[in-house]
Amino acid sequence: MAPSLGGREPMTDCTIATPLLPRSPDHGTIVGLAEAYDSEKLVDMFRRMCLSRANEITLRQLHQNGQIECLVYLSSVGQEAVAAGLSMAMPGAWVVGQHRCHALYLSFGGNHRLMIDEMLGLPSGGNRGLGRSPTIQDFANGIVGHTGLIGDQVPVAAGVAMNPGSRGRVVTVFGDGTAEEDYVLATLGFAATRRLPILFVCEDNDLSVLTPTRDRRSWQMVEVAAGFGLPAVDIADDPWLVEHWATRMAENLPALINVRTCRELWHVGTGCDGPPEWNRFELTCEKLKNLGLGDRAEAIKNETQQQVDALWNERLRTRSGI
């Protein structure tokens, strides 16, 4: 079933979800996709995942130790593959995120030092240390911070897409709870009417805070998007699958990708819901091992964690005046 695209060429293999569709780490899998990638591209994508994960692990520990007291948003943990895949597919695009913003920021090349300084409340932070976790931004790299109003990044992204300048395209990421905000749904229709160069990405972990989708609504995001005339697919959070579809969609914007994913930590604070349905980071490590890149992946993971810890320690010393 292909959505109407208002004169554009339909993407006949787009997947339309149903309310009863089960969650699975293999949903939408394309056999042989990872094997088709160049090894350096595989490693580059994994390195971005490692950077995001290492940052969040360190940030969580510092918060639990009392070294960081501000509110933290750590739901990037477990969802690193989405940001990594998107950044590989749409380099140089404007990026507008929300409480999943840390992985987006780092994967799209945000200045890590600015981010850390912001979290530490330093005036050298990306928002002068005044906004902290949700507001991290780096305009030099096209990354727009968030105000804290649930879902407002989506209409903001549409505004950016009306005049994207040399960056040309916009990526906005939101959750399945945010998808229910009226101005988010209205933005889909607006973008379709104006044919804005924007990729909407819903990170669907089946939770709005702690409430599962089945208790909140009966409709699926891709069905709504298709109703507005947007190409839409529903896939699992395999990084190569995300990159594949984002690359395809980028040539036919506006469009929407609903990504079934799992968070390991809460989107507000450092708590967790228990073991995730699946662990995409571990699945990615296993896949790389099967592709003969296991040793290299392990080295990247360890080196990245060491580099992240070193940078955080340097900035902590700066805050302490040491």
- Looking at residue 21, its pLDDT comes to 63
Successive 10-residue mean pLDDT values, the chain, 322 residues = 42 51 89 96 98 96 92 88 98 89 94 96 92 88 88 96 97 93 96 98 88 88 96 97 98 96 81 87 98 98 98 96 80
> Which of 178, 168, 108 shows the shortest CA–CA distance to 136?
108
Residue 191 φ/ψ, nearest 5 degrees: -65, -40
Angle at 148 between CA 279 and CA 315, to 5 degrees: 70
Structure tokens at 93: 């695009």
Per-residue pLDDT reduced to its tens digit, 199-249: 999 999 988 877 888 889 989 999 999 999 999 999 999 999 999 999 999
60-91 in b/e burial notation, b at 16+ Cβ within 10 A? bebbeeeebeeebbbbbbbbbbbbbbbbbbbe
User: Please, which residues have CB within 8 angstroms of residue 42's CB and are 6 or more apart in sequence?
Assistant: 34, 240, 288, 291, 293
Angle at 235 between CA 47 and CA 230, to 5 degrees: 110
Q: Could you identify the residue written with the tokens 């947007």? A: 230
State which fold the 38-320 domain adopts.
Answer: Rossmann fold (3.40.50)
